[in-house]
A = this chain, B = another copy of it.
């Protein structure tokens, strides 16, 4: 289908002049199908518009932050009420205390909260608190799990400019492999400060995996036995699986949990929460940032937590996620494809069987995009509470035409060139 992005192209050219590579970080489209726009004009509900005016039913939600819908009226009203008073002042406002109170009341393992800006701030704080509390050094994290972009945790394949010392005492185990975790624990017996775990496996390019109960219980037991802290990194999944820490669903309480992205519905704030016995260690570390105590994002967080606790947002985004999953499966069968739809329906990963170099997935997501549905070819996606059954139906119209396209063109599809270099780096990382 004809596809023109003249404003996006012009902006990319301008960006090449003043931004290294034209863009950087997780929102760079450098690995995405060519059709994907780099620059966006606006968002509302579950819809986004790129700078060329194309409208999409959006399934990325700004890579998570959009939980209730872009520009949710209640959240924005709370933010605006604070904004006319002030944002960054010489100290926090009452909103900081109220947000901490609401957060602690919502998350069952937590007795206290600390706020920051980036998800990476929260995971880094968790590492430092664990080391302060235990006086030990080793952090166990799962291979390939994403815990942020600081030198200690940036994915090895992307680690230009970092040193081996930056990840000294960061030791890797295999997610969902209880034995691998036990072995790592054993190898560093007496020196393990913390075990990091995402609530489920949501690595890029791979099928997502629910947490194996034996693995998760083993993590809790090993931490209890050794005094290491169990840290659940709920930054990506938080509040899309439960109105609590995601591992509450399998009956496991972490010692610390990390939060970000969506708990202020897109306003910039993240958090680390912890249990009582780690309060002193948390109070002993020095962490801060110029905008960590700004009031507007906190007011937005209070309003978001209120909806999390008082509305059926979770049931709605779960049921629309299931609607999407069922619809896509039926379409795929009709067109002779088999999808690997993994992870919770509200955070779906959608990959194609027999598509090792992603040529089908890339062609399909590009075609979905051109027909008005923004799906991601290798990263888990996100539903919002603003998605309605009508939005899912609209997205399924797009996906149906995309399935038809890739069925017709299947034999002519080429592997995405932008991935070849990346996969080569991955192989050597």
Binding stretch for chain B, among A121-129, A210-218, A243-251, A383-391: A121-129
Give the docked Cα–Cα distance between A111 and B91 (Å).
35
- A291 interface residue (CB < 8 Å to B): yes
- A119 interface residue (CB < 8 Å to B): yes
Give the docked Cα–Cα distance between A21 and B291 (Å).
19
A27 touching B91 in the complex, CB below 8 Å, given contacts A19-B96, A85-B42: yes
Q: Which residues of B contact A283 (CB under 8 A)?
A: 20-21, 24
Binding stretch for chain B, among A177-185, A266-274, A355-363: A266-274
Cβ contact of A38, chosen from B91, B113, B152, cutoff 8 A: B91
Give the docked Cα–Cα distance between A249 and B165 (Å).
37
Q: Which residues of B contact A152 (CB under 8 A)?
A: 151, 166
Least CB distance from A258 to B in Å reads: 12
Interface size on A, residues (CB 8 A): 112
In contact, B163 and A293 (Cβ under 8 angstroms): no
Least CB distance from A245 to B in Å reads: 16
A:98-145 near B, CB below 8 Å: 100-101, 103-104, 111-114, 117-121, 124, 127-133, 137
A118 touching B86 in the complex, CB below 8 Å, given contacts A39-B92, A283-B24: no
In contact, B293 and A27 (Cβ under 8 angstroms): yes
**Which chain A residues have a beta carbon within 8 Å of chain B's beta carbons?**
11, 14-15, 17-21, 23-27, 29, 37-44, 48, 51, 58, 60, 62-66, 70-71, 76, 83-94, 96-97, 100-101, 103-104, 111-114, 117-121, 124, 127-133, 137, 149-152, 154-155, 158-163, 165-166, 168-169, 235, 260-261, 266-268, 270, 274, 279-294, 297, 374
